[in-house]
Structure 1
Amino acid sequence: MSSSPVLVVTQLDDATADGVIEELNRRSVPVVRLDPGDFPAAVTVDARVGDVSLSGRVRTTTRVADLDQVRSVYWRRPSPYSAPEGVDAQDARWCVDQARYGLGGLLAALPCAHYVNHPWRNRDAEYKPVQLAAAAHSGLHVPPTLLTNDPERAHQFTREYGPVVYKPLRNTDYADHDRHGLTVWVEEVEPRALGAGVAQTMHLFQQRVNKTADIRLTAVGDRLFPVRIDGSPGLDWRRHYDDLGYTLIDTPSDVAKGVRTYMDAFGLTYGAFDFGLDPDGRWWWYECNPNGQYAWFPGPVTSRITAAIADELQHPHRDTS
């Protein structure tokens, strides 16, 4: 196992992965960093399937990994698959699909690897309606939530449960006419603003939690790192990083049980959970990003999470997903 590498699947600009790689290097654990978006220009694959298992090699410009010797995979934020330059549109689509299902399939089928997280587990856990159902089933406190494209039902929900917030179901790239990137934040919904646009697509409305603080709980295997976030002047603390204070706190036993049940339901090793803390001390579940960032925390918090991830990758348990 000492010579078996950890495969880090991510793009070049990834501070979270950088920190984990530095920690693995410090421990003298071999690392191969690979971005599927570099295929085929800078990644070469030679894979075989025989009577027993998958074998072969994947090569980058600086590293080589035997597919049947990879001990762990840290699946972070790879670039999209791409086609070689100069290929026309139809052939380019063909190349991209072959790469996604070929290389992507190989990287998801490494026979001895422990995944943090397996890419298909990440995919399954990204859908907000499935998250909501799993959180409720796991015993976590979920605010009353409506998913609808019916304007009248949206009006009725705001009357019954107001104040209500709107949350996007996915953070999709969006730009204005000048191509400046825009972000759709969590915002309180004014009933008079609920017009015909509600009917144009799916919307998520949720009762606003009367919160005294936010909590980001990062789960790595069985280890939980809950951080209380204070000082946000608005609903969405992600808009105010410079104004915030961060304090490591303990996890109530019922929340810890719910988080672990939730992780097991999706087969996750890692998850970034967001909660709102109300005046009575109750933790209200908002969402779980199966591949959430954490490197923006202060150093003492970041270093603990980084070490926990490095432990998972260095000393893996066989992934049965």
Structure 2
Amino acid sequence: MKHVLILTRSQDSHTPPVVEGLQHRGVRVSILHTADFPEAALLNAQIGHGGWTGSLTYQDQHIPLESLTSIWRRRPEKYKASGNYTAGEKAFIEEEADRALIGMLESLVLQETFWVSRTHSVRRADLKALQLSAAHHVGIRVPQTLITNDPEAVADFYEHCQGNVVLKAVAQGTIKDEEEQIERFIYTSQVAKDHLADLAGVRITAHFLQEYIPKQIELRVVVIGRQIFAAEIHSQHSERAKIDFRRGYSDLQYHIHALPNEITANIFKLVNYFDLQFSSMDLILTPQGEYVFLDLNPNGQYYWLQLRLPELHLAEAMADVLASPKEYRL
């Protein structure tokens, strides 16, 4: 019997519809909230001539490692050690747990366990500078971009782009306050001329600036194995969402979009370059009809889009590739 393990966290809205789809396909499903290992989960594994054998025990689930046919790296979360430890001890305990669990599960690839997607592939694909290089390499236009901590370079880039510049986060785009348990989002914002009057803060860290490209529509493209889906996001009528549609995504209109064959082929080349089985990416369609790549999320949220466009069968596509990787994988 096929057996899929989902690595995620609590309150993940993406997991239930995929679990339902897998069970409908006759697949056994196990779920591990990775932050619960090792305190609430047991791992026993040994390596022999046939590879790793053993099991994970979590909640009411007994998960034989050798039974796993697919693993979905959905939304894993690192363990945070409780107890009276020094900061160094705490970091050591947490890293040992993460390396042991993920290393063990990654090793099952050599026993023909399929992953969506491999840990190292996700981490590599999360590098924005590499994303832009790779997109350009496969033939997709990318915006003029500056990564710098030099105030003079920012001023020069602003002048070069005739004042049409936006500032983005290089990494996750969130600031977490552990004490208050809140998360602040860093949205893409337009750089105004009066910002140039005081650029001393540019020296604090790296900054990611791009030319602002006029949009006819924005596109969210989701690749799941060999299946590709594209949705139009009509953000330009909204002042709030014009620069970054996430500021007002719930009030926007969405439509299915048919990508040209050449763009589809280039997107698959990009996803293949990073060795991913899933990717969610943002593009722009300019008023002149040109497609421009913005960024790629190798482990992003997608189910919110299916809720707005039910004809995008994203959860079903994920169930397809996890249940039948030989048929649906890239």
So what's the TM-score if we normalise by structure 2? 0.90
Q: Is 2:46 the counterpart of 1:42?
A: no
Contact 2:321 2:328 in 1 (8 A): no
1:84 shift after superposition: 4.5
1:4 shift after superposition: 2.8
- Stretches of structure 2 that go unaligned for 5 or more consecutive residues are none
Write the distance in 1 (CA, Å) between the matches of 2:316 and 2:200: 50
Identical amino acids, percent of aligned pairs: 30
Which residue matches 1:193?
195
Contact 2:2 2:323 in 1 (8 A): no
So what's the TM-score if we normalise by structure 1? 0.93
1:64-119 superposed Cα distances (whole Å, 9 cap, x missing partner): 22212211111111121232444454432221111011112112221221111112
Contact 1:294 1:302 in 2 (8 A): no
Q: Give the number of aligned pairs.
A: 319
What is the root-mean-square deviation in Å for CA atoms of aligned residues?
Answer: 2.3
What amino acid is the match of 1:274? Answer: D
Q: Is 2:233 the counterpart of 1:229?
A: yes
1:25 shift after superposition: 2.0
Which residue matches 1:93?
91
Question: Structure 1's 275 and 173: CA in aligned 2 closer, same or farther, altered over 3 A?
Answer: closer
Q: Is 2:227 the counterpart of 1:219?
A: no
- Stretches of structure 1 that go unaligned for 5 or more consecutive residues are none
Equivalent of residue 209 in structure 1, options 210, 213, 216: 213
1:316 shift after superposition: 1.5
Contact 2:173 2:187 in 1 (8 A): no
Q: Is 2:46 the counterpart of 1:52?
A: no
Write the distance in 1 (CA, Å) between the matches of 2:250 and 2:13: 18
191-200 vs 237-246, greater mean Cα deviation:
191-200
Aligned residue runs from structure 1 range 1-321, under 5 A: 3-110=1-108, 111-161=111-161, 162-174=163-175, 179=180, 181-194=183-196, 195-232=199-236, 233=238, 234-299=242-307, 300-301=309-310, 304-317=313-326
Contact 1:113 1:318 in 2 (8 A): no
1:50 shift after superposition: 1.5
1:320 shift after superposition: 11
Write the distance in 2 (CA, Å) between the matches of 1:11 and 1:17: 10
1:297 shift after superposition: 1.7
Contact 1:277 1:283 in 2 (8 A): yes
Question: Structure 1's 320 and 271: CA in aligned 2 closer, same or farther, altered over 3 A?
Answer: closer
Contact 1:47 1:56 in 2 (8 A): yes
Contact 1:231 1:243 in 2 (8 A): no
Contact 2:218 2:235 in 1 (8 A): no
Write the distance in 2 (CA, Å) between the matches of 1:125 and 1:196: 31
What amino acid is the match of 2:202? Answer: V
1:40-66 superposed Cα distances (whole Å, 9 cap, x missing partner): 122111111112312211111121222
1:256-300 superposed Cα distances (whole Å, 9 cap, x missing partner): 121111111110011001011101111110001011111112444
